[in-house]
Structure 1
Amino acid sequence: MQTLKYVSIIILLPLLSGCNTSPQPINYGIDGCHYCKMTIVDKVHAAEIVTKKGKAYKFDATECMVHFLDEFNTNDIKLYLSNNYIEPTVFIDATKATFLISENIPSPMGAFLSAFKTKEDAVKIQTKKGGNLYSWETLLAHLKN
């Protein structure tokens, strides 16, 4: 009887825990970009998608994440995440971020694209580095052209 109890717990535990839809840490210098296959080393520009089933797709740059959307069913995505330029390695919600494209801030794939948690932070850096600001929606449209 005791054995049946333990077997039941082992079988039910994964079913009860459900899918983990939280971000997964990027192992810089080890993990590869799901889109371009480059090793992710830049702690300022990395990005990640987490599906509703909990699968994480890691990218070396937000522009790789955006281009990956062309080949993925976006209805399955729970989280779009970009690293915050102000706090490298800290994920922010890309759909709420403000993006700056400035030729004075190189990014891994050459789009000069950086993400900011607040518009105020983006404007401060834009004042110093130049460039144009984008919301998630306007960034998607810009990169599709």
Structure 2
Amino acid sequence: MQTLKHYLIFALLLLFFSCNVSPEPIDYGSDGCQFCKMTIVDKVHAAEIVTKKGKVYKFDATECMINYTKDFDTTEIQLYLSNNYTTPEALIDATKATFLISKNIPSPMGAYLSAFKDKADAKKFQADKGGDLYTWETLLAKFKD
């Protein structure tokens, strides 16, 4: 009976630790984009999805992440993350970010799309580089077609 108890505890611990729902660091220059299959090298435009079961999908740009979700059960997604343009490699909650589409800031897939954690930063870049600001919802609507 004691052995069965130990196996049960071990199984529960294994289950607990195997369902970790959190981002993974992107290995720039090695990881590939789930959508376009390009190697992820741009440290200010990468993105990531984490499912409710903890599976991580990495993308070389936010536009790839959005396009990938068109054929994905989005009810399974726990986190949408984009790199913060002002802090290379830092992933931020894409659903709370402000996005700038500016022809003066190229992104890997040509959508000229950058994510900002702070709306004030996005407005500063918009004043300098031009373009239009979007919320997550308005961005999804723009990419719907």
Counterpart in 1 of 2:131?
Answer: 131
Q: Work out the CA distance in 1 between the residues paired with 2:83 and 2:25.
A: 11
> Alpha-carbon deviation of 1:93?
0.6
Q: Give the aligned residue type for 2:22.
A: S
Kindly report which structure 2 residues correspond to 1:1-145, keeping only aligned pairs within 5 A, or say none.
7-17=7-17, 19-145=19-145
**SS of equivalent residue, structure 2 residue 115:** strand
- Structure 2 gap ranges (5+): none
Q: TM-score, normalised by structure 2?
A: 0.93
**SS of equivalent residue, structure 2 residue 70:** helix
Q: Give the aligned residue type for 2:55.
A: K
* Deviation digits for residues 102-141 of structure 1 (CA, Å, limit 9, x no counterpart): 0110000000000000110100011111111000011111
**SS of equivalent residue, structure 1 residue 71:** coil
Q: Give the aligned residue type for 2:32.
A: G
Q: Work out the CA distance in 2 between the residues paired with 1:107 and 1:97.
A: 17
Q: Which moved more, 1:104-113 or 1:9-18?
A: 9-18
> Alpha-carbon deviation of 1:11?
3.1
**SS of equivalent residue, structure 1 residue 48:** strand
Q: Work out the CA distance in 2 between the residues paired with 1:55 and 1:39.
A: 19
* Deviation digits for residues 49-79 of structure 1 (CA, Å, limit 9, x no counterpart): 0000000000000000000111100100000
Identity level (%): 70
Q: Work out the CA distance in 2 between the residues paired with 1:16 and 1:135.
A: 34
Q: Give the aligned residue type for 1:70.
A: K
For the aligned residues, what is the CA RMSD?
A: 1.7
Q: Give the aligned residue type for 1:57.
A: Y
Q: Work out the CA distance in 1 between the residues paired with 2:93 and 2:81.
A: 5
Q: Give the aligned residue type for 1:122.
A: A
> Alpha-carbon deviation of 1:8?
4.9
- Structure 1 gap ranges (5+): none
Q: Work out the CA distance in 2 between the residues paired with 1:10 and 1:33.
A: 35
